[in-house]
Amino acid sequence: MFFDAGDILHPVVEMAAEIMIVLAFLAAFRRLVIGPNAVDRVIVLDLLAGIFLCLAALFALATGDSIWLDVALVLAVVSFTGTLALARYLEQGDEE
Amino acid sequence: MTILINILALVGAAFILLAALGVLRFPDFYCRLHAAAKAGAFGGTLLLLAAGCYFQTPRVWAQIVLTILFFYLTTPVASHLLGRAARRGKIPMVGDDSDV
């Protein structure tokens, strides 16, 4: 609150954090493509939601706009529900 | 405060990168689950804390605390369910030659 919007993160720190998050996305996406089982792909989807949550929090810092934090909250809720449903589905599909 | 926010953002991004690298590089499903569950949740928490230190209004702090609590409480539950589904689905472990 003592700074103008966009001044809070050092430009080098902001760029480094964005590059690390994009690299994380690429690594997780590679596992999503090559993952040998369905459960591997489900954990990657869970992790991708976490990566986008990190990106939303970083955008809130970079733009000084707290509306991005709503995005983070909704992503947390939706990713949990999706992972839960997919895990139940995979477990039931094996019993039959 | 500026330095704290910068450090939190950088370390949080590094943790999420480590989580993704672990998911890419670890040899079997259970190791990947370990990396994604713990490091991923911790990186997101650090970045959300950085955002909370920046805005510093009660509304934003309440929202940040709610998001962190929800994220930290639900990630182990989802990982546990996935691990159980994989174990019952006979996903093999590294170094386990017997029939699971």
Tokens 């590294």 correspond to what residue?
B94
Kindly report, residue by residue over B85-94, the tens digit of the pLDDT.
Answer: 888 888 888 8
Q: Is A31 on the interface with B (CB under 8 A)?
A: yes
**Do A27 and B84 make contact, defined as CB atoms within 8 angstroms?**
no
**Do B21 and A1 make contact, defined as CB atoms within 8 angstroms?**
no
Task: State the pTM of this model.
Answer: 0.88
CATH code of B14's domain:
1.10.287
Q: Which residue, among B75, B96, B90, B89, has the nearest Cα to B33 in the 3D structure? A: B75
Instruction: Tell me, yes or no, whether B29 lies in a domain.
Output: yes
3-state secondary structure of B100: coil
User: Is residue A59 scored above 80 in pLDDT?
Assistant: yes
The angle that helices A67-95 and A38-63 make with each other, rounded to 10 degrees, is 180
Three-point CA angle A74, A80, A82, nearest 5°? 100
Instruction: Tell me, yes or no, whether B40 lies in a domain.
Output: yes
Instruction: Give the residue ranges of DSSP H helices in chain A.
Output: 11-34, 38-63, 67-95
State how far residue B93 is from chain A, nearest Cα, in angstroms: 13
Which of A18, A37, A57 shows the shortest C-beta gap to B50? A57
Residue B44: closest C-alpha in chain A: A54
Q: What is the mean pLDDT of residues B38-42?
A: 91
- In chain B, the percentage of residues whose pLDDT exceeds 70 is 96
- For chain A, how many structural domains are there in total? 1
Q: Which tokens sit at B63?
A: 């929202």
Residue-number span of the structural domain to which A23 is assigned: 11-91
Residue-number span of the structural domain to which B40 is assigned: 2-88
Instruction: Tell me, yes or no, whether B83 lies in a domain.
Output: yes
Instruction: Tell me, yes or no, whether B65 lies in a domain.
Output: yes
ipTM of the complex in this document: 0.88
Q: Which tokens sit at A55?
A: 């990106």
Kindly report, residue by residue over B41-71, the tens digit of the pLDDT.
Answer: 999 999 999 999 998 889 999 999 999 999 9
Q: Which tokens sit at A63?
A: 């733009």
- For chain B, how many structural domains are there in total? 1
Which of A54, A83, A88 shows the shortest C-beta gap to B13? A54
